[in-house]
């Protein structure tokens, strides 16, 4: 699961990781802001500056394991216009969806930089990192986005189950990594999503 990257790989990985994480968290904050919550703006999270979003542990995991996270954007659903539960669902979805869109853009771009040393490798990592970041964050374990998405889909009287898991979420994630279950769960999902994205990108490039 963990492998020590070379210096060249780190040089290629860091820009892709910083961009993927920044857009992921910015998307959460932007959707919350558009729904009426000023909290992300007040906390300085409506920016693409990576320094505002990085979580040291989550970033290191992305470098070594290609799965990780950024510093969560704090939102207050009480400020949302309209349905609060649906609003949280949209905010939670915004991060993974942004990474899937970035992966698709990267897969399309890869067709044009393939064969160009360094650039094709950077774009390839960019696609993989965004796919893995999207899939990892869809795990329904707090504090990952998947738990908030699931809470947004469940009937209101069942949402308490998710909230009760919050204190155990980090422990569950640690166990998933230590037991290597994270690979068993995520690798097939990431491979499937990557295949779909590559197929769509090939269709788009072929169409034009």
Q: pLDDT per residue over 49-73, tens digit each? A: 988 998 888 788 777 776 777 888 9
Contact 127, 133 (CB under 8 A): no
pLDDT for residue 108:
97
Whether the ω angle into residue 143 lies within 30 degrees of 0, i.e. cis, is yes
Residue ranges per domain, the chain? 7-207
142: left (phi over 0), alpha (psi -120 to 50) or beta: beta
Most confident of 64-68, 97-101, 170-174, 202-206: 97-101
pTM of the model: 0.90
Please say whether the dihedral angle defined by the alpha carbons of residues 52, 145, 163 and 65, taken in this order, is positive or negative: negative
Give the active site residue among 9, 25, 117, 166: 25
Q: Which two tokens stand for residue 100?
A: 């899937």
CA distance linking residue 208 with residue 48, whole number of Å? 31
- Is 121 a known active-site residue? no
Percent residues over pLDDT 90 in the chain = 56
């Amino acid at each position: 699961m963990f492998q020590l990257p070379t210096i060249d790989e780190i040089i290629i990985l860091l820009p892709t990781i910083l961009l993927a994480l920044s857009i992921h968290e910015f998307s959460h904050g932007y959707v919350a802001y558009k729904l009426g919550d000023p909290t992300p703006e007040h906390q300085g999270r409506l920016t693409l500056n990576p320094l505002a979003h990085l979580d040291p542990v989550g970033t290191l995991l992305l470098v070594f394991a290609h799965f990780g996270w950024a510093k969560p954007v704090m939102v207050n659903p009480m400020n949302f216009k309209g349905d609060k539960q649906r609003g949280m669902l949209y905010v939670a979805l915004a991060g993974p969806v942004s990474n899937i869109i970035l992966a698709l853009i990267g897969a399309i771009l890869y067709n044009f930089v393939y064969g160009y040393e360094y650039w094709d490798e950077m774009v390839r990592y960019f696609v993989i990192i965004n796919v893995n970041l999207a899939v990892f964050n869809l795990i329904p374990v707090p504090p990952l986005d998947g738990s908030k998405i699931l809470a947004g889909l469940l009937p209101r009287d069942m949402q308490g189950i998710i909230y009760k898991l919050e204190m155990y979420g980090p422990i569950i994630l640690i166990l998933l990594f230590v037991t290597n279950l994270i690979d068993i769960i995520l690798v097939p999902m990431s491979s499937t999503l990557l295949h779909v994205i590559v197929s769509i990108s090939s269709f788009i490039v072929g169409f034009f």
